Amino acid sequence: MFTIALVCQKGGAGKTTIAVHLAVEAQQRGYRTLLIDLDPQASAAKVLDRRGDQPPDVTTEHPARLDVAVPAAEAEGYDLVVLDTAPQADQAALRAARAADLVLIPVRPSIVDLDAVQATMDVCQLAKRQPVFILNAVPAQGSEAREAREVISIPGATVSPVALGDRKAFRIAFNDGQVAQELDPKSKAAAEITALFDALNIPTGSHSHTATIERVKELRP
């Protein structure tokens, strides 16, 4: 089983949006997927609840119980666990990062978001994880993405070659418990999620942390 955590000290960066989209994408590709929502607001859980019995499975959990919840998911036969976390919850974010093989940090290309990057990096360093940044809600025009890429090109982190645009599909899909790929499989938003999932190269079956680090190095553009 492989575990991904979405972590970012800044609220509104796109943790829940990306967690839910990746979880559904994984499920569609045949990974038996469980989303564990660690945010007390339970936004991801509420979105997935709207799907009724349609997978992926979702549960809410307290971060302090992750050391039980993740092995339990593995025992139940899940291939992938996606952890969605609350912003500004240092201890909870640290627990999630420690429980994860791969830590993803969504970041918007704005100065307030970029200023908050170091706080999330500190959490990853404490957890001894090399995170992958995902530029999110990038405007269609302008140089923000390129400039942001330079700011987050810091030692011990990787920047995903695939960024997500600022797209209506990401905002409205959740209204019906859907994701952008389901709303319109031919949309740019859908293509970005497919490309992002491919770039992350998430393994199936057994794996090791060493393999994870090697794989993340390959991501370096």
Ligand X SMILES: Nc1ncnc2c1ncn2[C@@H]1O[C@H](COP(=O)(O)OP(=O)(O)O)[C@@H](O)[C@H]1O
Give the binding site for ligand X (CB under 6 A). 8, 11-17, 43, 87, 136-137, 164, 166-167, 170-171
Neighbours of 88 (CB within 10 A): 12
CA-closest candidate to residue 10, choices 116, 145, 81, 97:
116
Coil, helix or strand at residue 77: coil
Smaller CB separation from ligand X, 11 or 40: 11
Given 3, 16, 130, 212, the residue binding Mg ion (CB under 5 A) = 16
Smaller CB separation from ligand X, 170 or 203: 170
Smaller CB separation from ligand X, 1 or 189: 189
- Residue identified by tokens 């709303």 is 183
Q: Give the Cα separation of 102 and 157 in Å (integer).
A: 11
The residues near 175 (Cβ < 8 Å, ≥ 6 apart) are none
Q: Which does 12 bind (CB under 5 to 8 A by kind): Mg ion, ligand X, none?
A: ligand X
Q: Give the Cα separation of 175 and 33 in Å (integer).
A: 21
Given 5, 10, 13, 15, the residue binding Mg ion (CB under 5 A) = 15
Give me the least distance between CB of 171 and ligand X, in Å please. Answer: 4
Count how many residues are written for the chain. 221
Using the Cα atoms of residue 185, residue 52, residue 24 and residue 132 in order, give the sign of their dihedral.
positive
Instruction: Lay out the site mask for Mg ion across 146-185 (x = CB under 5 A, - = otherwise).
Output: ----------------------------------------
Smaller CB separation from Mg ion, 13 or 124: 13
Q: Which does 166 bind (CB under 5 to 8 A by kind): ligand X, Mg ion, none?
A: ligand X
Question: In Å, how far are 79, 159, 173 from 149, measured between CA atoms?
Answer: 31, 7, 27
Binding to Mg ion (CB under 5 A) within 26-85 occurs at 43
Give me the least distance between CB of 43 and ligand X, in Å please. Answer: 6
Residues near Mg ion (CB under 5 A) are 15-16, 43
